[in-house]
Amino acid sequence: MAGLLEGDGIKKALRWLGERRLEAPGATRSSLIDEAAMRFDLTPLEVEWLLANWRDDAVTPKAP
């Protein structure tokens, strides 16, 4: 499946999701993925992959 996810759209979406999570920590994970899908014209397969694999807690700063 990795070969199917090598487009620029998914790479840009992942970068944008990380930045957006920091800017809007209250936004839901699914709403961010939906917005990324529209912004970067992601395929249904790419959206499915994000829903299954993108962990927004990985980019949220942890409290000391």
Instruction: Give this prediction's pTM.
Output: 0.77
Q: Domain for residue 64, yes or no?
A: no
Quick: pLDDT tens for 15-29.
Answer: 999 999 999 989 999
- Give phi and psi for 40, each to the nearest 5: -110, 15
Closest CA to 46 of 17, 12, 1, 5: 5
Contact (Cβ atoms closer than 8 angstroms) between residue 40 and residue 14:
no
Q: Domain for residue 63, yes or no?
A: no
Give the count of domains, the chain: 1
Q: Domain for residue 39, yes or no?
A: yes
pLDDT value at position 6?
A: 67
pLDDT for 2 beyond 70: no
pLDDT for 60 beyond 50: no
Quick: pLDDT tens for 26-49.
Answer: 999 999 999 999 999 999 999 999
Domain around 29: 2-58
Q: Domain for residue 32, yes or no?
A: yes
